[in-house]
Amino acid sequence: MNRAELYAQAMAALRRDRQRAITRAEENKQLAYDRIPRLLVLDNLTIETGLALAKLGAARASAEKLAEKQAALTAIEDERAALLRENGFSSDFLQPKFSCPVCQDTGWDKEKVCGCVQRKIRALRRAELMKSAPLDLCRFDNFDLNRYPDQPIPPARVSARKIMEGNLAYCRQYAAEFSGDCPSLFLSGNAGLGKTHLALAIAGELLAKGVEVLYLSSQTAFGTIERDRYLDGGELLAEMLEAELLILDDLGTECLSPYVSSCIYRLVDSRLNAHKPTIYTSNLQSQKTVNLRYSEKVGSRLFGECEILLFYGEDQRLAHQYAKE
Ligand SMILES: [Zn+2]
């Protein structure tokens, strides 16, 4: 969907919200008026008193007279609220409950488009992007530790399974205690060792809690950003910079151009500076390989400030590196 389509959808959703709130208020009114006939009398009194007040104002009546009518209006309001409460309704039972109190679901805050429209557009875009992620298949409860060898990796005396058990526990806790203060994660290891699975398991838990998660494969994301380089990376780069949690899958598989390389640094750097957690998964397994592919700046920010989780399995190429630490 392009921006105009997203805008139209967001506005349509607001119109539905507004209509729903108004319909609900009318139903509530029917219910309350059936039970409390005095409410209708109070409505008529409000109209009469309001008219009288307007007449006094037009006739430049004394402040005292105006205050008297104003007090009468307030007394009617108070009686209405008291009657509602006595009959078991909330005092705002008759008011429409709009999803956005600023624009009352019209989408307009005076002359300008209300902030809630922007929020709806972002939510729609995220929902569209998340459609491609296999969240249902990748959960914590179906992460199978038995596929990791139980034999110790020499000379570390720790098995891949033990290490993966630790990674699984860490990711579970990360999802359970997620906040803006959480560190960014760099899940590193060979293909097929479950990095994407755990990243998506975190995403699934957080989406259910209402966190704004954006999941993208690095290849697709930077393909789009490269295409939109004359638009400063376009909408997608803006979304990636803003998301509450960004999951960038398979960093290192994107097609690298000087522009993409500069965007990767900008992304890593801005999100760390803004304390917005990011989860990277990558086959790149050392700071040196990251330095070589991108730059030392990217390598030192990623390896200096992310929590690094190393993934092990059947393929033991990492064993040597682990043994050195
Ligand atoms: Zn609004």
Specify the pTM: 0.67
Q: How far is the CA of 48 from the centre of ligand 1 (A)?
A: 33
For residue 19, the CA-to-ligand 1 centroid distance in Å is 14
Q: How far is the CA of 102 from the centre of ligand 1 (A)?
A: 5
pLDDT below 50 — which residues of the chain? 316-325
Q: How far is the CA of 4 from the centre of ligand 1 (A)?
A: 18
Please tell me the distance between residue 128's alpha carbon and the centre of ligand 1 in angstroms. 22
CA of 104 to the centre of ligand 1 (A): 6
Provide the pLDDT for residue 271. Answer: 96
For residue 147, what is the DSSP state? Answer: G
Whether residue 155 is preceded by a cis peptide bond, meaning omega within 30 degrees of 0, is yes
The Å distance, Cα 97 to ligand 1 centre, comes to 13
DSSP E strands, the chain: 108-109, 112-113, 152-153, 158-159, 185-188, 213-217, 245-251, 278-282, 307-310
Distance 113 CA to ligand 1 centre (A): 8
Alpha carbon distance 325, 318 (integer Å): 11
Euclidean distance between CA atoms 313 and 307, whole angstroms:
20
Distance 13 CA to ligand 1 centre (A): 12
Which own/partner contact pairs does 22-26 have at CB distance under 8 Å and 24+ positions apart? Answer: 22/96, 24/96, 24/97, 25/94, 25/95, 25/96, 25/97
How far, in Å, is the centroid of ligand 1 from the Cα of 11?
10
Q: Are 55 and 69 in contact (CB under 8 A)?
A: no
User: Ligand 1: distance of its center to the CA of 103 in Å?
Assistant: 4
Query: Distance from the CA of 123 to the center of ligand 1, in angstroms?
Result: 14
CA of 114 to the centre of ligand 1 (A): 5
Ligand 1 centroid from CA 122, angstroms = 14
Ligand 1 mean position to 263 CA, how many Å?
Answer: 32
Tell me the CA–centroid distance for residue 99 and ligand 1, in Å: 8
Q: Where are the domains of the chain?
A: 3-118, 132-324
**Cα(125) to centroid(ligand 1), Å:** 18
Ligand 1 centre from 296 Cα, in Å?
44
How far is Cα 167 from Cα 102, in angstroms, rounded to an integer?
Answer: 44
**pLDDT (0 to 100) of residue 247:** 95
- How far does the centroid of ligand 1 lie from the alpha carbon of residue 207, in Å? 23
Q: Which uninterrupted H or E stretch holds 99?
A: none
Spatial contact of 245 and 278, defined as CB atoms under 8 Å apart: yes
Quick one: pLDDT at residue 15?
95
Distance (Å) from CA 6 to ligand 1 centroid: 16
The pLDDT value given to residue 315: 57
Identify the CATH number of the domain defined by range 132-324: 3.40.50.300
